[in-house]
Amino acid sequence: MKTKTYSLLFICLLLLLNCGNSYSENESGFRAIVGYGEGFVAAGSNGRIDHLDLKGCVVRTESFLNTELNCLFTCGTALFAAGEAGILLMSNN
């Protein structure tokens, strides 16, 4: 049980450290994806967040102008997106 807990903590640390990666302005596309609800959420360049169903079809798209998103994580029903310049977005839906 301890090994499983340490492994999970190690993976979470790697994911959080990866949030600080800088991407060149020429790179576009998704930089993070997490399971959320009954599907997935993907985030990336141009502040785009896509909600996908289990088949990978886009259900809903949101955009946050002048924002580059690098990381997604969940805590219970809350979804967090982190990006350049200290941007942190949170949603419960």
Which pLDDT band holds residue 93 (cuts at 50, 70, 90)?
A: confident
- pLDDT score of 46: 87
Instruction: Give the CA angle between residues 43, 45, 49 to the nearest 5°.
Output: 30
pTM of the predicted structure, to 2 decimals: 0.68
Chain segment 29-87, per-residue pLDDT in tens = 889 999 998 899 999 888 999 999 998 899 999 998 888 899 999 998 899 999 988 88
| List of E strands, the chain | 30-36, 39-44, 48-53, 58-63, 69-75, 78-83, 88-91
